[in-house]
């Protein structure tokens, strides 16, 4: 057969930089999967379910910049909506592609399988997708496919948000014209020159006359394109001021840099970062997100006038500037901003003395603190560390990242279980990096199946499974019987995933010594994942979690405003 709609989609995905794409087959997408598989530049990766499929694509987009997830209608897509929501809230261009009903069925008022059972009405999925993507299209006939596919891909790439493309099962193999130059889809939109200049002038005005400026780094810096973090570094060094980082942005500013002053997270900040942030009289907020979790239940919102530098606009007390790209603005500002290291000088006076964590005896019962100490010990320039929603967030914040180490966290969406499939997707794109996951037992139970994919693809991912017997974050926010879970034999589970040929290893660590030994086994295992079940006491949680949980619970409990 000649060139088809499926070939067009495959070629465009390859051209925008998708290589691995994540799929679960279903009779609405089988022909489409054939076409994608036939493209030599694409590698098709089957997942155990569509939630994991979409989360693997979310993780792949963190590594690759853009990703694709291909599912069947409704029963597949509605599960994949969860990873799509994650990509939306984490600013990642995940392309969700769903097979759809044969184009003849609507007009014949047919009731179809996998749908809600309304005769002829299958439009509800597109409507739902519109809410969680920046662009959602359903191809009605082959002639419309090129225009709609290009539109959806361009929208996602420019907005750093997911897009949705629905391809009816009888159109994937339908004849289609070939695409024009890919630049029509991928060419970036530069800043508006006047707005860029005016914004930079206002920034100098905003900073002029201030005595103690700081920079606060937020998670959108990591999503604003490859040159954004370099531009941030240049601006920071041009100013010489203290640079604090929000928890969701950990790793987006080098932690060994002399101007790094820690994670600003209110009362659970690290390295006294909150002291210097509250001492400042001017703050450049670069890519920041102030939500209930990052402000510790609204108790840690900076109370001075801010200059906010977002992915495509700049706002400050005097004005708003649209279409100003983050990296271009930072670069321009770095060129003429005044040097002012007052906050660094002051920080030098209040920086806490470094502590050397206690090294317990080998046979000491394993603790959260010891697990974190040993995890710190294996971090290297090639490490990519995924920290899962749970006390793992707080353990992760205590780590000091070596130069080159990368850190992945999902603090906006916060879907427990994200880290297992997301790290799987990420590791396929970065086989040269050492991917490590720190995940709690409750989270692990949500998406554990994807460990079998790590076995299948022989990915040497290290999984530190923190077994504290339940949902400890929830215990600290608000306890109840529902926070208890059925314990698994996690180390043995890996044997089940191995079957006859797998090379994964599963170990349990009850003591400091057993963990140290297991870490060595993990470092040696290059042919598959190594899961280390770290058994700790169910109340062995970080003090930061307890403090943070107290204020988040208070925020959740605010009484309804009297009408
Ligand atoms: C149940 C829930 N959050 C609510 C929740 C429920 N469902 C989804 C999909 N995402 C969520 N965040 C959370 S944070 C658990 O404490 C996680 O437990 P676990 O993985 O075991 O970690 P900790 O023990 O360190 O808390
Ligand atoms: Mg737990």
pLDDT (tens place) for every residue of the chain, 563 residues total:
699 999 999 999 999 999 999 999 999 999 999 999 999 999 999 999 999 999 999 999 999 999 999 999 999 999 999 999 999 999 999 999 999 999 999 999 999 999 999 999 999 999 999 999 999 999 999 999 999 999 999 999 999 999 999 999 999 999 999 999 999 999 999 999 999 999 999 998 899 989 999 999 999 999 998 799 999 999 999 999 999 999 999 999 999 999 999 999 999 999 999 999 999 999 999 999 999 999 999 999 999 999 999 999 999 988 999 999 999 999 999 999 999 999 999 999 999 998 889 999 999 999 999 999 999 999 999 999 999 999 999 999 999 999 999 999 999 999 999 999 999 999 999 999 999 999 999 999 999 999 999 999 999 999 999 999 999 998 888 889 999 999 999 999 999 999 999 999 999 999 999 999 999 999 999 999 999 999 999 999 999 999 999 999 999 999 999 87
Ligand 1 neighbour 346 (Cβ under 6 A)? no
Task: Quote the CA–CA distance of 38 and 243 in Å, as a whole number.
Answer: 48
Task: Quote the CA–CA distance of 167 and 36 in Å, as a whole number.
Answer: 13
Task: Quote the CA–CA distance of 52 and 280 in Å, as a whole number.
Answer: 43
- Protein residue closest via CA to atom 15 of ligand 1: 471
The closest ligand to the CA of 393 turns out to be 1
Write out pLDDT tens, residues 120-134.
999 999 999 999 999
- DSSP H helical ranges for 164-227: 183-186, 193-207
Ligand 1 neighbour 442 (Cβ under 6 A)? yes
Q: Which residues pair with 439 in a beta bridge?
A: 465
Ligand 1 neighbour 65 (Cβ under 6 A)? no
Dihedral Cα 161, 330, 263, 549, nearest 10 deg: -40
Query: Looking at ligand 1, which atom is closest to the CA of residue 441?
Result: 21
Ligand 1 neighbour 393 (Cβ under 6 A)? no
Ligand 1 neighbour 552 (Cβ under 6 A)? no
The environment of the single-atom ion ligand 2, i.e. residues with CB closer than 5 A, is 440-442, 468, 472
Q: How far is the CA of 445 from the centre of ligand 2 (A)?
A: 10
Say which residues have a Cβ less than 8 Å from residue 279's Cβ, sequence separation at least 6: 212, 343, 346
Nearest to 214, CA basis, from 273, 277, 265: 277
Q: How far is the CA of 397 from the centre of ligand 1 (A)?
A: 17
pLDDT at 1: 65
Cα-atom radius of gyration of the chain, to the nearest Å? 25
Ligand 1 neighbour 549 (Cβ under 6 A)? no
Q: How far is the CA of 416 from the centre of ligand 1 (A)?
A: 5
Helix axes 326-336, 193-207, angle to 10 degrees: 50
The closest ligand to the CA of 541 turns out to be 1
DSSP 314-370: EEETTEEEES--HHHHHHHHHHHPPP--HHHHHHHHHPPPP-------TTSBP-HHH
Ligand 1 neighbour 414 (Cβ under 6 A)? yes
Ligand 1 neighbour 544 (Cβ under 6 A)? no
Ligand 1 neighbour 83 (Cβ under 6 A)? no
- Protein residue closest via CA to atom 16 of ligand 1: 471
Q: Dihedral sign for Cα 332, 337, 339, 342, please.
A: negative
Query: Looking at ligand 1, which atom is closest to the CA of residue 389?
Result: 14
The closest ligand to the CA of 479 turns out to be 1
Ligand 1 neighbour 331 (Cβ under 6 A)? no
Write out pLDDT tens, residues 425-464.
999 999 999 999 999 999 999 999 999 999 999 999 999 9
Ligand 1 neighbour 447 (Cβ under 6 A)? no
Q: How far is the CA of 291 from the centre of ligand 2 (A)?
A: 24
Number of helical (H) and strand (E) elements in the chain, helices listed first = 21, 19
Q: How far is the CA of 270 from the centre of ligand 1 (A)?
A: 23
Strand, coil or helix: what is 163? strand
Q: How far is the CA of 442 from the centre of ligand 2 (A)?
A: 5
Tokens at residue 558, please?
């605010």
pLDDT at 63: 98
Q: Are 167 and 29 in contact (CB under 8 A)?
A: yes
Task: Quote the CA–CA distance of 496 and 513 in Å, as a whole number.
Answer: 26
ipTM value greater than 0.95 = yes
Q: Which residues pair with 263 in a beta bridge?
A: 245
How many other CB atoms sit within 10 Å of the CB of residue 335? 11
The closest ligand to the CA of 389 turns out to be 1
Q: How far is the CA of 470 from the centre of ligand 2 (A)?
A: 4
Q: How far is the CA of 509 from the centre of ligand 1 (A)?
A: 22
DSSP 437-490: EEEEHHHHHHHGGGHHHHHHTT---EEEEEE-SS-HHHHHHS--GGG------H
The closest ligand to the CA of 468 turns out to be 2
- Cα separations in angstroms, 291 against 407, 477, 529, 537, 552: 20, 17, 35, 31, 11
- Protein residue closest via CA to atom 18 of ligand 1: 471
Please give the DSSP secondary-structure letter assigned to residue 82.
H
Nearest to 9, CA basis, from 25, 33, 28: 33
Task: Quote the CA–CA distance of 211 and 193 in Å, as a whole number.
Answer: 30
The closest ligand to the CA of 444 turns out to be 1
pLDDT at 434: 98
Ligand 1 neighbour 7 (Cβ under 6 A)? no
Write out pLDDT tens, residues 381-412.
999 999 999 999 999 999 999 999 999 999 99
Say which residues have a Cβ less than 8 Å from residue 147's Cβ, sequence separation at least 6: none
Task: Quote the CA–CA distance of 213 and 340 in Å, as a whole number.
Answer: 7
pLDDT at 274: 97
Q: How far is the CA of 191 from the centre of ligand 2 (A)?
A: 45
Ligand 1 neighbour 460 (Cβ under 6 A)? no
């Amino acid at each position: 057969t000649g060139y088809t709609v499926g070939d067009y989609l495959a070629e465009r995905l390859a051209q925008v930089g998708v290589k691995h794409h994540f799929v679960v087959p279903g009779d609405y997408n089988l022909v489409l999967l054939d076409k994608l598989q036939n493209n030599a530049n694409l590698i098709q990766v089957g997942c155990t379910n569509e939630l994991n499929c979409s989360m693997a694509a979310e993780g792949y987009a963190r590594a690759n910049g853009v990703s694709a997830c291909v599912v069947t209608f409704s029963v597949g897509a509605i599960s994949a909506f969860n990873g799509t929501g994650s990509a939306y809230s984490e600013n990642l261009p995940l392309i969700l592609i769903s097979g759809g009903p044969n184009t003849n069925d609507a007009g014949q008022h047919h009731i179809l399988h996998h749908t809600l059972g309304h005769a002829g009405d299958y439009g509800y999925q597109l409507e739902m997708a519109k809410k969680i993507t920046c662009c959602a299209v359903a191809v009605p006939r082959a002639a419309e496919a090129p225009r709609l596919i290009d539109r959806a891909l361009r929208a996602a790439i420019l907005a750093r948000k997911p897009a949705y493309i629905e391809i009816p099962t009888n159109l994937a193999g339908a004849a289609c014209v070939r695409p024009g130059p890919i630049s029509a889809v991928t060419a970036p939109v530069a800043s508006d020159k006047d707005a860029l200049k005016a914004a930079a002038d206002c920034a100098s005005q905003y900073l002029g006359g201030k005595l103690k400026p700081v920079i606060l780094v937020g998670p959108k810096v990591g999503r604003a394109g490859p040159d954004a973090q370099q531009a941030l570094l240049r601006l920071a060094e041009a100013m010489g001021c203290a640079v604090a980082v929000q928890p969701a942005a950990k790793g987006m500013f080098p932690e060994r840099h002399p101007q790094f002053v820690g994670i600003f997270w209110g009362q659970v900040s690290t390295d006294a970062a909150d002291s210097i942030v509250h001492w400042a009289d001017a703050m450049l907020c670069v890519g920041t997100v102030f939500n209930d979790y990052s402000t510790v239940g609204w108790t840690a919102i900076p109370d001075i006038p801010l200059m906010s530098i977002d992915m495509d606009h700049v706002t400050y007390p005097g004005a708003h500037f649209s279409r100003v790209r983050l990296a271009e603005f930072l670069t321009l500002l770095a060129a003429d901003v005044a040097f002012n290291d007052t906050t660094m000088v002051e920080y030098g006076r209040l920086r806490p003395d470094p502590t050397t964590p206690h090294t317990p005896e080998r046979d000491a019962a394993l603790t959260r603190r010891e697990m974190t100490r040993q995890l710190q010990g294996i971090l290297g320039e090639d490490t990519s560390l995924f920290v899962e929603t749970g006390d793992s967030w707080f353990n992760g914040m205590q780590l000091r990242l070596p130069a080159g180490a990368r850190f992945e966290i999902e603090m906006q969406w916060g879907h427990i279980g994200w880290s297992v499939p997301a790290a799987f997707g990420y590791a396929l794109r970065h086989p040269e990096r050492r991917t490590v996951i720190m995940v709690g037992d409750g989270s692990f139970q949500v998406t554990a199946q994807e460990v079998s994919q790590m076995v299948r693809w022989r990915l040497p991912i290290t999984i530190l499974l923190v077994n504290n017997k339940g949902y400890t974050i929830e215990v600290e926010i608000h306890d109840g019987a529902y926070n208890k879970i059925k314990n698994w034999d996690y180390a043995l589970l890996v044997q089940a995933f191995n079957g006859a040929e797998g090379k994964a290893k599963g170990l349990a660590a009850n003591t400091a010594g057993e963990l140290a030994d297991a870490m060595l086994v993990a470092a040696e295992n290059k042919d598959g994942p190594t899961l280390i079940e770290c058994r700790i006491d169910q109340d062995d949680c970080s003090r930061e979690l307890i403090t943070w949980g107290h204020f988040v619970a208070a925020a959740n409990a605010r009484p309804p405003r009297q009408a």
